[in-house]
Structure 1
């Protein structure tokens, strides 16, 4: 008999997929000044990272240290935070590649589907979303409500990511990118059902995602030209933080 836990996580994985697939039709997200919802979404994602995910990294650091006791890497401190930093740097590099390619005479325009930059960008986000789908199954939750809060935080984060990727790649994203990212969280969920990584690898994945979420949120919320809504951002931060503290 299929457990309630598996059913709930599968529904959430389908929810992630639906968000990507239907992002093309979310017209409210394609405006500058930005819709208040996007600023609210950014606030929720930031709260999730700093109130829930980053505090967990300390636990993951202990797991990593335990597994590296017989390795030369044991002399390095704060392994897990370095991995989170690597996640942030990787996605920053992707953004810089997109911007540089627009001015380069060698690299093809990232707005075109035959652009190397487009497929590198899609590949990085495919892995990113697949890992999030995997963690939907394999992260330890205290209750079904914990799964819902994970889905809520990453779901609104996906909406912001879709808006950003559509801005960078336009028609190529709607034609190819969103389909690829629609499949990613479901694939991650399926991998999570069929396989179980050890605590060490799971800790690394969590840290990598933490760094990626921080960069992907901040790069959309901070630029002045986006004209973000401070009140909506604060509402997302405060509201989601209160919900996390109540569970």
Structure 2
């Protein structure tokens, strides 16, 4: 059994990770890497790191999540695929949100302020839930090193922050970034209260995996972003090696 000393130290590190992740959205606008054309190589590297974490660490966990969901659900022919279906759901949900968010930037549709505000809160609220999942998963030691998870998610938050600033501009800076930062802390608190809730983890991990893949790819692929392929590939390869051998 672990002594109270190591447990306190581990809890302190987890708290520090939650605070650091919450701070990313508050400080990202001051780093000077967002909103550039061509795209900042640092954002492409961050995207590569995020995707590497999904493929090396999260996707293997999706298989475990599928097994957990099969144990808790009805025995059907598709039960063993439930985890992968949730990952697909995460991908599709955030693709839909991206399409919805474009309504706030296309052809001056912001003239309808009520509609614009509604779309803003739907978009930011969805990412708040996403950030809450990340905060919750800080307690999940099955994901491996807390440090490596936190670094990957911090870099991923830089990518999502840039996308949200592009869509919502000053409104995001005034309100949205505070909501997303608070969501990390809220998810972290929920993870402390509901620690070891196996079924929730089995839902959150695949959903996050699908969401990360979509949110990174949608920022890297558009030709008008002039993204940096070699920076993306280097970030993905470098972090994959780190995850495999550390």
**Does residue 47 in structure 1 map to residue 52 in structure 2?**
yes
Q: How does 1:189-204 map to 2 (within 5 A)?
A: 189-196=188-195, 198-204=197-203
Question: Bigger CA drift: 92-101 or 40-49?
Answer: 92-101
Contact 1:57 1:80 in 2 (8 A): yes
Contact 1:13 1:186 in 2 (8 A): yes
Matched residue, 1:88 = 91
**SS of alignment partner, residue 30 of structure 1:** coil
Separation of aligned partners in 2, 1:182 and 1:215: 21
The CA deviation at 1:100 is 3.1
Matched residue, 1:123 = 125
Separation of aligned partners in 2, 1:226 and 1:34: 6
Among 30, 35, 39, the residue aligned to 2:35: 30
Matched residue, 1:157 = 156
Question: Bigger CA drift: 36-45 or 112-121?
Answer: 112-121
Contact 1:102 1:110 in 2 (8 A): no
Contact 2:86 2:203 in 1 (8 A): yes
Contact 1:111 1:172 in 2 (8 A): no
Over the aligned positions, Cα root-mean-square deviation in angstroms equals 2.1
The CA deviation at 1:65 is 1.1
The CA deviation at 1:137 is 1.3
Contact 2:104 2:167 in 1 (8 A): no
Contact 2:135 2:185 in 1 (8 A): yes
Matched residue, 2:77 = 75
Deviation digits for residues 2-22 of structure 1 (CA, Å, limit 9, x no counterpart): 611111111111111111111
Number of equivalences: 240
Q: How does 1:91-240 map to 2 (within 5 A)?
A: 91-103=94-106, 108=110, 115-142=117-144, 146-196=145-195, 198-240=197-239
TM-aligned CA distance change 1:103 to 1:34, over 3 Å = closer
Separation of aligned partners in 2, 1:126 and 1:110: 24
Q: Which runs of 5+ in 1 are unaligned?
A: none
Separation of aligned partners in 2, 1:150 and 1:111: 39
Contact 2:137 2:191 in 1 (8 A): yes
Contact 1:133 1:188 in 2 (8 A): yes
Deviation digits for residues 114-136 of structure 1 (CA, Å, limit 9, x no counterpart): 61000000100000001100100
Separation of aligned partners in 2, 1:62 and 1:53: 14
The CA deviation at 1:226 is 0.8
Deviation digits for residues 132-184 of structure 1 (CA, Å, limit 9, x no counterpart): 00100134255xxx110001111000001000000000000000000111111
Contact 2:57 2:143 in 1 (8 A): no
